[in-house]
Amino acid sequence: MFKNYITLAFRNLFKRKLYSFINIAGLAIGVAVCLVILKYVDFELSYDNYHQNSANIYRTVTSTYTNGEFRGAGPLSGYAQGPLLVEDIPEVKTYVRTHPMYGGAVVSNETGGSDSKRFHEESIQFVDSTFFDVFTYHAFAGNLSAALDKPNSVVLTETAARKYFNSLDVVGKSLTVSGGWADGEYQVTAVIEDVPENSHFPFDFLFSFQNIMQNGQYKNDNGWGWYNFVTYVELQAGADPKEVEKKLPPFIEKYQGKDLAQSNSKQVLTFQPIRDIHLTPGFNNESSSTMSVNTIYFFIVISIFILAIAWVNYINLSTARAIERAREVGIKKAIGAFRTQLITQFIFESVLVNFIGIVLAVLLALILLPVLGDIVGKDFAFDFTDVRLWGILLILFVTGSLVSGAYPAFVLSSFNTTTVLKGGVDKVTGGFSLRKALVVFQFVASLILIAGTFAIYRQLMFMRSQDKGFDMEQMLVFNGPSVISNHETAQESLITLKNEIKKIAAVQNVATSASIPGGGFNWGTGMRKDGTDENQSKSGNVAWVDPDFLATYGMELASGRQWDGDRESDRQAVLVNEAALKAFGLGDAEHALEERIILGDDTVNILGVLKNYHWNSLKSEHIPILLAHDKISRRHYSVRLSGNIPDAIKQIEAKYSEVFPGNPFDYYFLDDFFDKQYKDDQQFGKIFSMFAGLAIVIACLGLWGLASFTTTQKLREISIRKVLGASTSSIMSLLSSQFMKLVLIATIIAIPITWYGIDRWLGGFAFHIDLTWDLFVVPGVILAIIALATVSIHILRGAGTNPAKILRSE
């Protein structure tokens, strides 16, 4: 009997090749998309799981309140926090402190030969010697347990070792660091594997923590003044983090209570599981890439939608073919077939279709996975030794076979033998209302995906085209020198370079600054208006720029003026933006010029008020920003270009190498740099668009098959209408209207769902597009055009059929 079921399943598969292809193709695409999404989701959820003791590793997070008002939370801490946690709290087994090489440094192997390498490196961290006791990495060379015990030690990743030495056998060799926080010669003590892509803590170089502690600002600090460190702790096995956190308020009070009380502030210290870091966005000073867990859920919902659309195709086409298979069921029942046998036969057909679909889905997923990897910049691959993958395939196969095969099996097997054999087929083919509902569901899902893609594209274009308050067009930025041979004449050399660049014909203007738009700030500190209580202090940000910065960037003043380099008093004054006026109660733009601001231990005059500008992305509101005077900065040179840009870059590089030999010339364009802030959103948009497109393809496949079958069933009606004088256009209008009605119903249903989803997504942006009518109408029109084009081909073909061929036997 089972052999017979298999034979019949293959026979029916080949008998209707078009419908079989549509069913299999739809299922294959749906399952493939599901596999790819699940792989992506699994990757995002796997961050930092590779550490052997990841379940017991936590990062400290500090939440700050002033006058009872929440001021933000972030992972930065003082360097005293880690050692004192181990000392005061028994459940804390050990700690690791990390400190980035802010601004990077020039690293060279200084061999003196042709194989000398010199690069500007950003991915540098200073870490405690306990780093490899807490975090798990494989060593290619060296002893990790003692690799960072001594000063001037460095551990390289495989990529860094090959970059500088073309080998992994480099223990004992030296690297020279210049222009960073801890210049000097460092000895390579170990080489480890490259940091996995699912790590929140990327690096290429690990330097001994002892070297950063030689920095003057830390040697003279009590360990709580400079919050430039990130502290990780490993708890004892079996320790309850919630119970440990109960001991943290007394800990803060013991060491910082007096200082916090003076500013009417409060700090709340918590332990953040290392596995949760990647999925917890929104922290201040978060250096790693994060993703909202809602985005993960969103992609899972998309995969379910796409699978559902594929299964709906199968159900629709199977029930639509009920007329054709009704006589088959009637005859089999007449010769003694039981209903359970018929159900089993139809389930077998579903199993066969789903099995072939699963096999093709795996092959298609292998093609789609590199495409997704290119979008997100990760190297994805399926691990066929992972039992979870086979478990997912089995679940999709079984669920798909039952879900897509059960309803058609019960419908087809329920036909009444007598009615069918008497020719009353049309009266027993139920399920038309269900098919309409399922088609509407497909259209609703497709509309949501089209509208979502449309909204994401519009928002990304809005953020890129919105006026930032300054001009980024043709703005070349290059890093200033890290290696300076003569520090006594460094400032003169920096000025000389700036003046030489100005002489280049294609250069319109040049400015230097310690930070640039999109690159953060140089200093974040408490600020308040002079004359107010210390507890009125609010957070503000400072960037140091030279007097040509405003002209180079085209920034506008609302009042006052910029610095006059010849006036000593101007050099101590600052420019504030309009957001600072409201934050610090400075009045309007004119009145603010009469006020002063206290920041840190200094009191400064306000020289001018700048119109609000977007120093950071449009995701965030305008925040208080102060621009402080710097005669010349060695961090960034911003060059406004026009004319022959490639030639101008060559000339700039030549002058740079002439004034500061031995420094790598690293440049980029500001608009590209600024748009990196939208990298995650752009990736989200591309992934969403790709999956939305595939979902629409699946829906169109089903619509194609359904329109083909519907047209075939209505050939007699079409022929009679043509004989009675109906035109081809009227027949097309009549038959296509039923599908257009379903599109209209789907549009009505999808609009509120889409409005809610888009509104929630746009809520994550401080500046965003408005929810206008075209966001919802245009996707409906697009879907109507796609649906009409899909069904019209079959209707036109049916309307063009010779009536004589159809009616000759009537």
Assess whether pLDDT exceeds 90 at residue 763: no
pTM of the model: 0.80
Assess whether pLDDT exceeds 80 at residue 772: yes
CA dist., res. 106 & res. 104, Å (int): 7
* Structure confidence at residue 703 as a pLDDT band (50, 70, 90): confident
pLDDT in tens, 404-458: 777 666 666 666 666 655 555 554 444 446 677 878 888 888 888 888 888 888 8
Quick check: 203 and 125 in contact, CB under 8 A? yes
CA dist., res. 102 & res. 105, Å (int): 8
pLDDT in tens, 464-473: 888 888 998 8
- The dihedral formed by the CA atoms of 11, 15, 17 and 22, expressed in degrees to the nearest 10: -80
Quick check: 539 and 71 in contact, CB under 8 A? yes
pLDDT reported for residue 415 = 62
CA dist., res. 129 & res. 150, Å (int): 8
Q: Which residue has the higher pLDDT, 129 or 694?
A: 129
Hey, CA dihedral for 215, 657, 492, 479, is it positive or negative?
negative
Vertex 378 angle, CA 375 and 381, to 5° = 105
pLDDT reported for residue 322 = 56
Assess whether pLDDT exceeds 90 at residue 158: yes
Vertex 302 angle, CA 301 and 305, to 5° = 90
Run of H or E including 270 = strand 265-273
Helix (H, G, I), strand (E, B) or coil at 76: strand
DSSP 605: E
Q: Pick from 756, 665, 650, 641: which is nearest to 120 by CA?
A: 665
With b for 16 or more beta-carbon neighbours within 10 A and e for fewer, the 567-587 pattern comes to: eeebbebbbbbbbbbebbebe
pLDDT reported for residue 429 = 46
CA dist., res. 341 & res. 132, Å (int): 64
Q: What is the DSSP string of 306-318?
A: HHHHHHHHHHHHH
Contacts with 252 (C-beta within 8 Å, 6 or more apart), sequence order: 260, 267, 268, 269
CA dist., res. 112 & res. 499, Å (int): 32
Q: What is the DSSP string of 652-715?
A: HHHHHHHHSTT----EEEHHHHHHGGGHHHHHHHHHHHHHHHHHHHHHHHHHHHHHHHHHHHTH
CA dist., res. 290 & res. 681, Å (int): 12
pLDDT reported for residue 80 = 94
Within 13 Å of residue 650, how many CA atoms lie on the same side as its CB? 4
Neighbours of 293 (CB within 10 A): 15
Average pLDDT of 142-154? Answer: 94
Q: Are strands 184-192 and 153-157 parallel, antiparallel or unpaired?
A: parallel
Strand partners of residue 639: 476, 510
Question: What number of residues does the chain have?
Answer: 810
Quick check: 100 and 287 in contact, CB under 8 A? yes
Average pLDDT of 647-658? Answer: 92
Vertex 581 angle, CA 576 and 583, to 5° = 110
DSSP 102: T
pLDDT reported for residue 701 = 76
Q: Is 405 exposed, middle or buried (0-12, 13-18, 19+ CB in 10 A)?
A: buried
Contacts with 122 (C-beta within 8 Å, 6 or more apart), sequence order: 101, 104
Quick check: 290 and 277 in contact, CB under 8 A? yes
pLDDT reported for residue 87 = 94
Q: Pick from 216, 205, 121, 197: which is nearest to 155 by CA?
A: 205
Quick check: 224 and 496 in contact, CB under 8 A? no
pLDDT in tens, 569-609: 888 899 999 999 988 888 888 988 988 998 877 888 999 99
Backbone φ and ψ of 576, nearest 5°: -120, 155
pLDDT reported for residue 336 = 65
CA dist., res. 202 & res. 200, Å (int): 6
What share of the chain has pLDDT > 70, as a percent? Answer: 88
pLDDT reported for residue 430 = 46
Average pLDDT, the chain: 84
Assess whether pLDDT exceeds 70 at residue 50: yes
Q: Is 97 exposed, middle or buried (0-12, 13-18, 19+ CB in 10 A)?
A: buried
pLDDT reported for residue 171 = 94
Contacts with 294 (C-beta within 8 Å, 6 or more apart), sequence order: none
pLDDT reported for residue 428 = 43
Q: Which residue has the higher pLDDT, 323 or 179?
A: 179
665, amino acid identity: F
